[in-house]
Amino acid sequence: MEDIFFGTEYEIISAGGDTGQAFIAQHKDEKFFLKRNSSPFLAALSALDIVPKLKWTRRVENGDVITAQKWINARVLSTAEMGDNKVARLLSKIHHSDKLKQMLLKMEEASFSPLEMFRKHQQVFPDQTQVEQEALDYLKRNLEQVEDGERVVCHGDINHNNWMISSDGELFLVDWDGAMLGDPAMDVSMLLYQYVPKEKWPSWLEIYGGTYSKNWHRKLKWYALFQTLHRLGEGKLSQAEQHKANELLDLIVKDNEV
């Protein structure tokens, strides 16, 4: 596959992924990461060095918008590296960025309170096992307890596969298609429950810029249960992923947040 950008012919190959919207373009020593119809939010993320630098944006004949980002030699963070201080600091930078928040507000992206999230998505929650029913009961019982909270820019999928570190040590969080305004516990919960030992949560939160409390813990448990139930209910997981999600759900349900 070949295409021409600015009068130069590039070889273009798929970058993989589930959507089929990402490509790698190369001409001699020049290389870009291309994406079709990525969010306009990408420019703001690039300006804050949260994603690799945006080089240019181009609208093609069929109406699609193609963005090109600087190609970096990088690798995915391992699960063990997710507890690193760099991760806590970058997530804090994202959550505390007024520039990102204002940009997302202008784009009229979704902003959900726990009650709105629960009402919108509860129809996909599974309730076939005792653990799933216990999780659902917890969500219902604690809706009012977690309702009040600030709204920040949340990534929505804090999986280690979305964290990239370059050969120069630069850390990036990629794949922002699901960004929304929500409680910061939405992101923090999945990171802590999946990757950070519970005894290290207070020190991790201190680096992030927060203080451990019973209220924080309740929110973390609520959002982690919500997101794990939602993933299980969507029916898009492989057998291995479903097994892992069920193990995580059991871990969260058994967690005593007091």
- Whether pLDDT at 21 is above 90: no
pLDDT digits (tens, 9 = 90+) for 95-117: 999 999 998 888 766 677 898 88
Among 123-127, 244-248, 254-258, the range of highest mean pLDDT: 244-248
39 and 105 fall within a common domain? no
Give percent above pLDDT 90 in the chain: 58
122 and 19 fall within a common domain? no
56 and 101 fall within a common domain? no
7 and 83 fall within a common domain? no
Tokens 């999230």 appear where?
117
| Lowest mean pLDDT, pick from 12-26, 102-116, 177-191, 195-209 | 12-26
Mean pLDDT of all residues in the chain? 87
61 and 80 fall within a common domain? no
Give percent above pLDDT 70 in the chain: 89
- Whether pLDDT at 188 is above 80: yes
Distance CA 85, CA 88 (A): 5
* Strand runs labelled E in the chain: 2-5, 8-14, 22-27, 30-36, 54-59, 65-70, 74-76, 152-154, 163-166, 171-173, 180-182
140 and 64 fall within a common domain? no
Domain count, the chain: 2
| 137 noted as active-site residue | no
- Model confidence at 16, pLDDT cuts 50, 70, 90, reads low
Distance CA 223, CA 189 (A): 6
Which of 48, 71, 94 represents a domain boundary (last residue)?
Answer: 71
221 and 151 fall within a common domain? yes
Tokens 């963070």 appear where?
77
- State the pLDDT at residue 14: 66
What CATH number corresponds to the domain at position 245?
3.90.1200.10
Among 144-158, 168-182, 217-231, the range of highest mean pLDDT: 217-231
27 and 88 fall within a common domain? no
- State the pLDDT at residue 8: 56
67 and 81 fall within a common domain? no
Amino acid at 180: M
Which of 71, 91, 124 represents a domain boundary (last residue)?
Answer: 71
143 and 164 fall within a common domain? yes
The catalytic residue among 157, 177, 250, 255 is 157
- Whether pLDDT at 51 is above 90: yes
- Whether pLDDT at 258 is above 60: no
According to DSSP, the residues that pair with 67 across neighbouring strands are: 35, 57
Angle at 64 between CA 61 and CA 68, to 5 degrees: 105
20 and 109 fall within a common domain? no
pLDDT digits (tens, 9 = 90+) for 198-209: 999 999 999 999
- State the pLDDT at residue 108: 65
On whether the CB atoms of residues 76 and 29 are closer than 8 A, the answer is no
- State the pLDDT at residue 182: 92
Rounded to an integer, the average pLDDT of 136-156 is 91
- Model confidence at 2, pLDDT cuts 50, 70, 90, reads very low
Which of 38, 71, 104 represents a domain boundary (last residue)?
Answer: 71
45 and 98 fall within a common domain? no
Boundaries of domain holding 56: 2-71
pLDDT digits (tens, 9 = 90+) for 59-87: 777 777 788 888 888 999 999 999 999 99
